Chains A and B, each alone.
Chain A
């Protein structure tokens, strides 16, 4: 595949993940505003999302979309605002993507397991 083809797909992936994030962030913020009406404690959060498969799936998709979207944006910022070699920027964005994905999914799994105990 040509360089332009790859770059076009990366660009499209960022737009599609942005669409997912627009919905996910809205649901997340709305859920939080509703949830804090009953008080914001660790126990209350765990009671709500712990062991909840729907919440875990929702936040899993949220993390996946964030892990696609943010590193592509970071790569663009690095290419435009620094003198980094494009391959180095690709590498930094790749590492960031893996970090967001691993840390995010670990948090989702952790909350899910807390409720299952």
Chain B
């Protein structure tokens, strides 16, 4: 193991540049540890975003050696065999400064995709009884652990080519709600996610599921939405 890591970090906005830093290599070290070391010891002006450090909040995603990753759970030993790290902001989102990107578009698209739960009962009603083995519940559970890190969004070429495309995370969220029997938005949500900028824009390249740190499959969720759209079209309901 090398004593030092050669780290290149993106500094500035969209027209910024990579700046090199030497960071001590440790036995057990994550990429977020490296970025934190640079900010605390070498360059306090470095901007980046993190919160939980345990893979729950989804705020520390960055592009590490060309691939989007959650940096708090990415060990340096897995990605920097030759002792080199290149850390850049996520693509497909505007760079605010250094490693911080503007997530507004990403989360606005969750709202556009009908990502908010639409209850059919009030707090006065009893709990909804849903068997764990229920087929729709299993479909919802498959995508429910999304942490909103935007790694899928930044890895999706369709988002790059078509900025209006809702993206894998928002569509995955919509699919979990389509399968939530307590939700009442129904076909109105299907209308939100149909069309060229919705699920039908997906080319099934599967970059989202290849890169998802939670090993979810937004591609499968989008395929489910496509099937639901086809059924609605054939029934004349869309």
Binds A, one of B34-42, B67-75, B190-198: B190-198
- Cβ contact within 8 Å between A9 and B233: yes
- Cβ contact within 8 Å between A80 and B162: yes
Closest to A75 in B: B196
Closest to B233 in A: A8
Closest to B190 in A: A4
Bound CA span A76–B238, Å: 21
Residue from the list B158, B161, B162, B195 in contact with A4, Cβ < 8 A:
B195
Determine the interface band of chain B, counting residues with CB < 8 A from chain A. Answer: 10 to 19
Contacts of A76 in B (CB 8 A): 196
Residue from the list B158, B161, B198, B238 in contact with A5, Cβ < 8 A:
B238
Residue from A7, A8, A76, A80 whose CB has the most chain B CB atoms within 10 Å: A8
Bound CA span A5–B234, Å: 11
Contacts of A7 in B (CB 8 A): 194-196, 200
- Cβ contact within 8 Å between A80 and B238: no
Bound CA span A106–B230, Å: 34
Bound CA span A5–B190, Å: 10
Q: Give 30 A-B contacts (CB < 8 Å), ordered by A residue.
A: A2-B191, A2-B238, A3-B195, A4-B191, A4-B194, A4-B195, A4-B198, A5-B191, A5-B194, A5-B238, A7-B194, A7-B196, A7-B200, A8-B194, A8-B229, A8-B230, A8-B232, A8-B233, A8-B238, A9-B233, A11-B200, A11-B229, A12-B230, A12-B233, A76-B196, A79-B196, A80-B158, A80-B161, A80-B162, A81-B161
Bound CA span A80–B161, Å: 5
Closest Cβ–Cβ distance, residue A23 to chain B (whole Å): 20
- Extra 6 A-B pairs, beta carbons < 8 Å, given A4-B238, A7-B200, A8-B232: A4-B194, A5-B233, A7-B196, A8-B195, A8-B233, A80-B161
